[in-house]
């Protein structure tokens, strides 16, 4: 996947961690990239707003706010984001990673873990950490150890037949053509695309397209576009159909999502 890069960002250190568990948060502009690198500690990447993407040599993780990406020590990776994003990284020393996943993966974020990460974002630990701050960071470690591993929220495929179809839809999420119509455009069959969706994406084409539209809707909603405008831009014939899909996928309505982002200080106007 080619990414237009306008900004580069890097972690504040590269040789050693300042503490066995270290938290930092940052807001980064659209089209920013953290270049390919690795480190001897593990890292949790979580987006409070927008969608963070993490690329490995053979995998591409995309995680909206209900997921985080876990990177074990020594894993080569790069970070990128298409839209303005507020995120955090929790760096964990290698000796504390024994109970955490051995391979890179997306993790579900529990309400408790999300609340702790938001608290740490709003009250960053001091250089000389208190016992209370240390205990809170240990809660993060415990929550990670019990979190369920999942695939990327919006997986992709390098398949020569399926890949171009997915990339076309990513560029034009409002395209309303059915799977049979897309199959004809790709000179293949609906059955072939259906099989390859299950094989490469682990889900149906319909679910993948709905996830794509959720991901595309998030920055538009945070940017204060109306729900009706977002619905029509994403190919829905009515706002109510879009609202129903969005609530089923995320558990909140588009307006509730927008209010939550604004309340957390991560709306498009930050």
Q: What is the DSSP string of 258-270?
A: HHHHHHTT-STT-
pLDDT tens per residue across span 141-184? 999 999 999 877 888 899 999 999 999 999 999 999 999 999 99
Q: Tokens 């990673």 belong to which residue?
A: 97
Domain containing residue 236: CATH number: 1.10.10.60
pLDDT tens per residue across span 82-118? 778 889 999 999 999 999 999 999 999 999 999 999 9
**Domain match, 127 and 169 both:** no
pLDDT of residue 1: 42
pLDDT tens per residue across span 193-218? 999 999 999 999 999 999 999 989 98
**Domain match, 73 and 119 both:** yes
Do the beta carbons of residue 197 and residue 207 sit within 8 Å?
no
Q: Tokens 């894993």 belong to which residue?
A: 75
pLDDT of residue 260: 64
**Domain match, 13 and 85 both:** yes
pLDDT of residue 145: 95
- Domain encompassing residue 215: 162-263
Structure tokens given for 27: 């807001």
**Domain match, 146 and 166 both:** no
Q: Provide the domain count of the chain.
A: 2
Residue 63, burial from CB neighbour count under 10 angstroms (0-12, 13-18, 19+): buried
Residue 251 lies in a domain: yes
Domain containing residue 52: CATH number: 2.60.120.280
**Domain match, 89 and 146 both:** yes
Write down which residue in 104, 128, 150 finishes a domain.
Answer: 150
Strand residue runs (E) in 64-196: 67-71, 77-81, 85-92, 105-108, 149-150
Do the beta carbons of residue 245 and residue 208 sit within 8 Å?
no
pLDDT band with cut points at 50, 70 and 90 for residue 265: very low
Structure tokens given for 38: 């690795």
Residue 256 lies in a domain: yes
Arithmetic mean of pLDDT over the chain: 88
pLDDT of residue 150: 84
**Domain match, 194 and 137 both:** no
Residue 93 lies in a domain: yes
User: How many Å separate Cα 52 from the centre of its chain?
Assistant: 4
């Amino acid at each position: 996947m080619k990414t237009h890069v306008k900004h580069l960002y890097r972690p504040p250190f590269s040789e050693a961690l300042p503490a066995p568990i270290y938290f930092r948060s940052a807001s980064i502009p659209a089209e920013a990239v953290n270049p390919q690198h690795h480190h001897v500690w593990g890292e949790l990447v979580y987006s409070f707003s927008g969608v963070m993407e993490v690329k490995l040599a053979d995998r591409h993780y995309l995680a909206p706010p209900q997921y985080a990406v876990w990177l074990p020590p020594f894993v080569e990776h790069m970070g990128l984001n298409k839209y303005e994003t507020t995120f955090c990284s929790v760096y964990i020393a290698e000796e504390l990673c024994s109970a955490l996943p051995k391979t890179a993966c997306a993790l579900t974020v529990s309400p408790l873990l999300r609340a702790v990460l938001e608290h740490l974002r709003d009250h960053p630990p001091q250089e000389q950490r208190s016992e209370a701050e240390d205990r809170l960071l240990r809660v993060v470690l415990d929550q990670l150890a019990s979190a369920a591993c999942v695939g990327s929220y919006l997986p992709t495929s390098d398949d020569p037949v399926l890949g171009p179809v997915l990339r076309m839809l990513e560029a034009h999420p409002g395209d309303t053509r059915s799977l049979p119509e897309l199959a004809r455009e790709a000179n293949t069959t609906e059955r072939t695309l259906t099989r390859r969706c299950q094989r490469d994406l682990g889900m149906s084409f319909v679910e993948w397209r709905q996830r794509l539209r959720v991901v595309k809707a998030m920055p538009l909603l945070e940017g204060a576009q109306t729900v009706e405008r977002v619905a029509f831009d994403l190919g829905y014939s009515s706002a109510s159909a879009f609202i129903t899909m969005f609530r089923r996928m995320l558990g909140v309505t588009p307006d509730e999502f927008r209010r939550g982002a604004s309340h957390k200080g991560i709306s498009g106007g930050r």
